[in-house]
Structure 1
Amino acid sequence: MKKSPEKRAAEAAHLRQRELAKGDPVALPLTMASMYHLPGDPTGVRQYGRFDNPTREAVEKLLGHLEDAEALAFPSGMGAISAVFFSLLKAGDRILLPSDGYYTTRVLAERFLNKLGVTHDLRPTASFGEGGFGGYRLVFIETPSNPGLDICDIAAVASEAHAAGAVVLADNTTMTPLGQRPLDLGADVVVAADTKAPNGHSDALFGHVASHDAEIMKAVAEWRKLSGAIPGPFEAWLVHRGLETLEVRFDRMCSTAELLAPRLAAHPAVKALRYPGLDGDPSHNLARAQMERFGFMIGLTLKSEAAAERFINGCALLQPATSFGGIHSSAERRARWGDAVEPGFVRLSVGCEPAEDLWEALQAALEKR
């Protein structure tokens, strides 16, 4: 029987306790080691920091518990995506990517995979199932898409892609394992940037790959070992600490976003707003069916670039920054990076501030002239 995300979150705080001996530290120790004492036969013990680190293994165990699957840690979300691409793909393969997802994945395919003989096609997330999946080795979905927050039907895509012989890779960065469970819906592999909400404090780059498929994970682990794409133990320690409070932070962030979204949508300064939790959002019905929560990301379009910049820079409780998922609310105008959005589009990441205080600050910033 599958455990609920809440049940897994409750157990996560006590996962380490199961292995503690009397007198052991309750908090995870930070092991900063590149070398291990290794006389004689090295078989069966820790050998070298690129291969083994107990702090890294602890965060992988915690991530695996939340995903209910084997998990491998990487130094960033793009490191995790790259590991899947380079360990599973070969010359002659064709892959399908979202045209409206995180842009760096497309850039990686254009500048590096193409040189190695791996071709790609693009398709919008909202119509991702249209056109079929014949001829693809790998189908990559990102739902909700970043930054536009469109959604595709994970179960339907997985079923059709598997029938065509493709591996389905899902980027679950915006939702975390507590908000959406792509593996349970049929995806073969999940990747995520734990830099965001899982760490939550904007002080570490991190990512992970998770899957039930032992052969896929074996290939990804071998690629990581040989390429050296490993996270440092200090970053692993920070993310482990962040994961222990993910449930309470994620709940606060999602609840506040659900409160703010209809208020923002009704404000005369807001030209358009996307949030899967709104009844009128194009993705609402599908979001209700496949997501545990509606998330903490809101996409709002203001009337101009100047209005968007004035709102972001003039709000006392907004951090102008790229990235998202921190305890502080943050925002940025995504057109500045070349995303296919209007000049006044703002990606708003709701943090952990008291909801009514945050609303007052957002409202005041929207009404500045």
Structure 2
Amino acid sequence: MADKPVVLFIDDDSFMLKALLRAALRLRPDWQYYLCEDAQHWPSTLPSGVVPDLVISDFLMPDINGDMVLSQVMAVYPQSVRVLMTGDTTEEVVSSVSVQAHFVLGKPFSEHDLQDLCSCIDRLRMLHLPDDLRRKLGTGDNLPVLPAVIRQLRQALTAAEPDLTQIVDLIAHEPVIAARLMQLANSAFLGYSRSTHSLSEALMRLGLRLVEAIVTLMAVEQSAGSQQQGSEHRQLSERAFRLAATVRQLAQATLLPAEQQDLLYVSALLSALGPLSKLQLHAGGGPVVPATINGIASDSVMTVYLLTLWGYPAELCELELLISSQGQTPDPADLRPFILFIARQYLLQCSRDYLLQMAKLVAHPGLQQALQQLPLLNGHSAV
């Protein structure tokens, strides 16, 4: 990895290229920048051995469009963050580039959008993932989805009167689909000033037509894995769903604001991304992933890497890292990491005595009662 991040801008409009460069230099004056007006020959813009951290391409260009350019970038530099800039943010364009592009930015771009991209690059570099693992995670097929869930979703979405509650529930059982849809719902192309952590709100923002398009695309991309892989996938997805449900129950007991409850729910649900990506890497003969990376569980590091790569806020990623890097129970006064931590211990089938001890640590009577009333799971110790 280069000492300084490398950025490649691709656009046939020289004025747009200069505007991008000026804005980028204001934000990160010490980064390295390369400009390309000839999209068909973009690889020749980069000196030999230079790997871009970030590639931003316009969509409509002579001879070749940006989606094809980003497909080529993904093949040559899968570890690069890929961004499509377009004035056409219709459903067809956005859904068609959901694999090639990590971000879709509307034109004209805003400096705030560029700032978010720069922060994303900073956060990814701080994780220090091995190069071979970064390359595998940067390809379009590093996460599996279950064909059965895809079929159920498509059936529900094409009903005469789609049931939003049923659709949200189906999506909540498939963390990969949930992650992709929420990524789009919070992307800059929709123009919302406030991010959302609610699956229901995400679907309403996108509209069921776009949701159906994304789900259909994912169905085309996915191939059925082995029976063993499908079984493991179901176990990982179901465990994440149970974890999210437990987190929701505890968060509701604390009377946290709805936005914070949604944040914790999504954090728990998307914690499956790291384990699922490991499963896919193993099935495809990818690199062996160590148990820890820089002293943090690799499941969590990979989850955070993917969430950052897809533009999720730092707050969500920091929660995941905080829980995984704790050598002891988080401070009970800080309710969000404490709830996530205890819910994970509960799913690991901690003892009733442990839950009662944790209940004594918290000052919030609602959470205290909720911990005392959690039902015993199979395998829990009664004492």
Q: TM-score of the superposition, structure 1-length normalised?
A: 0.27
Higher normalized contact order (CA 8 Å, seq sep 6+, divided by chain length): 1
| More helix, by proportion | 2
